[in-house]
Amino acid sequence: MTSTDLVRKNIEMVADWRDQAVHLLMPELQAIASRIFQSGVLNFSSEFEAFSQVAFISVQHTGMMTIVGDFKLPAMSLLKTQYGAAAYEILELATSIQYEVEKADDMNFAIPLKVHLVFAQGEGDAQVVLTKASGTASDLNELRQKLKVIEKTIDLDKSHPYSQTKLQQLVNTKLETDRDQLKLEKCIPGRNKFTGRPELNSHCIQACIQRLAWQQCNNEYHYHAKLANRHQYSDSAVTELVKRITQEDDFVAKAKKMLSKKK
């Protein structure tokens, strides 16, 4: 089953729950159901940004989500006390959900609990794995006993806060403010269709990013948030683009030509 199929399956399951309101009636299923809901939020965020080039949510804003642990099927005796004859249907639903989550074992459908806790630092995507866990209650308990904080993680909304669209806006603004129009006419092949002034469009920015190979790894200028599949850029990226564009008059033109050849 492809990732697209799993995204669709996630949507169909949530829609079915919405229509039947089962997630409101059965808090016993919250631990496993929330993993499906959370995948749905991340799927929507990723698809929204891919379509609009504007971030929907920041994956670092974990206050919107709940961290869940090992799921255990509700005891039949408790279900009968709480729901009477409907207990059998509830247990059957719980069993089927657990089976579907384990069978898919993919984040596009439900957040998996096969976690890797890592300290990522170094060239490219190099990572040093501190410990691993399958997500069972015993493993999670062992992690709590052994885990130590090495270094506070960086907030990407502070270090790399800009989408590509925002990066484009900031670079254009800085060029307009810091450079005269004659210089910009040499450096920028595109023109604003309303004012006629030199202006970088989205294709120009993408071409420059490709030429500088920023997206090949996480670095001072670029960071790829894998969970949300989102590329973010820093203030250093704004400064560097302005410098490279104005230092080499045909930098943008060459970048666009290189990108066209690749396509």
Burial class (CB in 10 A: 0-12, 13-18, 19+), 235: middle
Is residue 166 within 8 Å of residue 241, measured between CB atoms?
A: no
Q: Which of 245, 218, 246, 250 is nearest to 234 (CA)?
A: 218
**% of residues, the chain, pLDDT over 90:** 35
The residue that leads in pLDDT, 71 or 135, is: 71
pLDDT digits 0-9 by tens, 94-105: 888 888 888 888
- Residue whose token pair is 């502070």: 158
pLDDT digits 0-9 by tens, 76-131: 787 788 878 878 877 888 888 888 888 888 888 888 765 444 444 444 454 444 55
Query: Distance between CA atoms of 247 and 45, rounded to whole angstroms?
Result: 37
Query: Distance between CA atoms of 76 and 97, rounded to whole angstroms?
Result: 17
**Residue 115: phi, psi to the nearest 5?**
-105, 150
CB atoms within 10 A of CB 2: 9
Strands 230-233 and 115-119: unpaired
pLDDT digits 0-9 by tens, 209-221: 999 999 988 899 9
The residue that leads in pLDDT, 160 or 38, is: 160
User: What's the pTM?
Assistant: 0.45
Query: Distance between CA atoms of 22 and 28, rounded to whole angstroms?
Result: 11
Strands 222-225 and 128-133: unpaired
> Which band of pLDDT confidence, cut at 50, 70 and 90, is reported for residue 38?
confident
